[in-house]
Chain A
């Protein structure tokens, strides 16, 4: 993600897979270049917590097959 302003509004250029879109960043002042953001109707509503995402994936990887942990 790259950041810029358009008519005074904080904006970012965000890649969605192979396409990029300009997205408003006014509601995620903490966002920095390189962050992953969740976008609704052209406006970022959250910065994805990448550490938590990784932790969740690790927990899934530790589940024993076919049953309780």
Chain B
């Protein structure tokens, strides 16, 4: 694809690696926030090509991983209802709740469908007027515009059998909680490019001003990731801290105005529990009160199930970057992509799944002392 392959060019990658090596004089810990970047880093072996001094820490940007178990349980309860068609992105289906996953609901006769867009779920609702169609609206700021649009469209088309189960999370409050944590040793961040495509860079400017860490908005192709790392290192070595945009072909300072306005109309800020991490103030969105008619949590009275995490899973530490996946006792033994104990082993964006898939199996292979 045009403007994709060029940013995976090995020659350009080698040049940027050379620059990083020439600039690096000390140890730096850099967190890539987004799970898509984590996968690019492991897939292309970027973690192993960088100078030894640079350690990449994997961040919490995996929407499937951070969706709280209580919400998965609620999804399972709604999906099991006979009148419901439950639509979801494919990678939510195997995320374990307290008792089973969406696949097991489907095996038990529930109508669970994989869709590629919430707009596809709208079509399902139009085609099945006698059914209640519920879309599982999880994700970061990148998927919020699509989910907001689906709700606006549902209202415009007069659909009364469509609703969404919302668990939206936002990146900046998570970065803040990482920066405020006494265990955090992160020197700089690669911010998730497409989140900024939607939201712009404003909130990151505030974080830089408050905490004095460089934040570089970074894309997802290997050359993009390397350039992001290069720019963080350049700032760290120079002792500066700014928001820098290493992904200007996709990110403008103001973000996407139309998308932001739609998000502001449909959603309202709320505290969110992050799976394995705990509640982060103002870290998510729920439907605004005017859109209550589309809120599956209000429409389906789901008794609060007592959610139970697998006690072995250390997903919270993995998500905050304080534990490498391969240092989890269960990694690759009782927890594998076929038998996941926690969400980070399920999702295509989860750090545990990435370590497993790209063979960072032992401490001696991937981790550095």
A36-53 interface mask toward B, CB cutoff 8 Å, 1 = contact, 0 = none? 101011110110111011
Within 8 A of B (CB), among A11-46: 16-17, 21, 24, 26-29, 36, 38, 40-43, 45-46
Counting residue pairs across A and B whose Cβ atoms lie within 8 Å, the total is 109
CA distance A69 to B19 in the complex (A): 8
A41-69 interface mask toward B, CB cutoff 8 Å, 1 = contact, 0 = none? 11101101110110011001101111111
Count of chain B residues near A, Cβ 8 A: 44
Residue of B21, B119, B153, B194 most packed against chain A (CB within 10 A):
B119
Q: Which residues of B contact A21 (CB under 8 A)?
A: 116
CA distance A59 to B1 in the complex (A): 21
Which residue in B14, B156, B249, B256 is a CB contact (below 8 Å) of A49?
B249
CA distance A34 to B199 in the complex (A): 25
**Contact across chains for A68 and B117 when beta carbons are under 8 A apart:** no
Closest chain A residue to B258, Cβ basis = A27
Residue numbers of B with Cβ under 8 A of A are 1-3, 6-7, 9, 12, 14-16, 18-19, 21-23, 89, 116-120, 139, 142-143, 145-147, 149, 153, 156-157, 194, 197-198, 223, 227, 248-251, 256, 258-259, 262
In the assembled complex, 20 residue pairs joining A and B whose CB atoms fall closer than 8 Å, in A order, are: A7-B157, A21-B116, A24-B117, A24-B119, A26-B258, A27-B262, A41-B146, A42-B120, A42-B146, A43-B149, A45-B145, A49-B250, A56-B227, A57-B12, A60-B9, A60-B223, A63-B15, A63-B19, A67-B18, A67-B22
